[in-house]
A and B are shown apart, each in its own frame.
Chain A
């Protein structure tokens, strides 16, 4: 059974940094692309970043230069390093396993990040 468990969401002030983690199990983690998707009441679902099985990374323009996605295949864990946080980064952040054709096959339960002074 595929399981994705996010952690690291907190209440943080603007300008701060935070690292989210996503522990994966039940599949060959190193063989699939993984993504982060966030959700806010106002903007709905927004793709944030993807890391391919080969380690190539892709970002939404809204986070490019501030967020960094990485993965540790020895720990079956996906990360999202979030720097220079802004109020508009407030959201529930989901990690998702991509299928071979790039849609989001499985999702974690999400972790809430609140950026506010």
Chain B
């Protein structure tokens, strides 16, 4: 199975900050990576796919990059509604696997 390791596991930041979350795969996944946002009591919501493609309707302050085994999610200027938990997921092969999540909290 492909292991997905996210860092950090939690992060405190302020409105307006730029934040970056990293996701590392245990083997190459050729950009078959998605990022999801989850708020308490809600289902995950797709933000980006193919490592860097923004899902329709997602604000442009969210961006993704990376290749091979290392990928990043960047939020350029945090807004109050962005405080949530973020997950990466590889869909290169089954079993599809997720990172353990990064909880983004208000400083």
B49 adjacent to A103 (CB under 8 Å): yes
- Which residues in window 8-32 of A have CB below 8 A to B? none
Residue count of chain A within 8 Å CB distance of chain B? 21
Chain B 41-81 per-residue mask, 1 if CB under 8 angstroms from chain A, else 0: 01111100110000100000000000000000000000000
Q: Give A10 to B87 CA distance when docked, in angstroms.
A: 27
The A contact surface, by secondary structure, is: strand
Given contacts A104-B44, A108-B43, contact A44 B87 (CB under 8 A): yes
Q: When the two chains form their complex, are residues A101 and B43 in contact, meaning their CB atoms are under 8 A apart?
A: no
- Asked if B94 contacts A104 (CB within 8 A), the reply is no
Contact between A103 and B89, CB atoms less than 8 A apart: yes
Chain B facing A: main interface SS: loop
Once the chains bind, are A103 and B91 in contact (CB under 8 Å)?
Answer: yes
Sorting the interface of chain B by its residue count into under 10, 10 to 19, 20 to 34 or 35 or more gives 20 to 34
Give the A-B contact count at a CB cut-off of 8 A.
Answer: 53
Known: A44-B87, A107-B44, A109-B43. A101 touches B98 (CB 8 A): no
Assess whether B32 is interfacial by the CB under 8 Å rule.
yes
Contact, CB under 8 Å: A44 / B98? yes
| Residues 41-95 of A at the B interface (beta carbon under 8 Å) | 44-47, 50, 58, 60-61, 94
Assess whether B95 is in contact with A60, with CB atoms less than 8 Å apart. yes
Cα A106 to Cα B96 with chains together (Å)? 16
Do residues B34 and A104 form an inter-chain contact, with CB atoms below 8 A? yes
20 intermolecular pairs with C-beta atoms under 8 Å apart: A44-B98, A44-B99, A44-B100, A45-B87, A45-B89, A45-B101, A47-B94, A47-B95, A47-B96, A47-B97, A61-B95, A94-B44, A99-B49, A101-B49, A101-B50, A102-B91, A102-B96, A103-B34, A105-B46, A106-B46
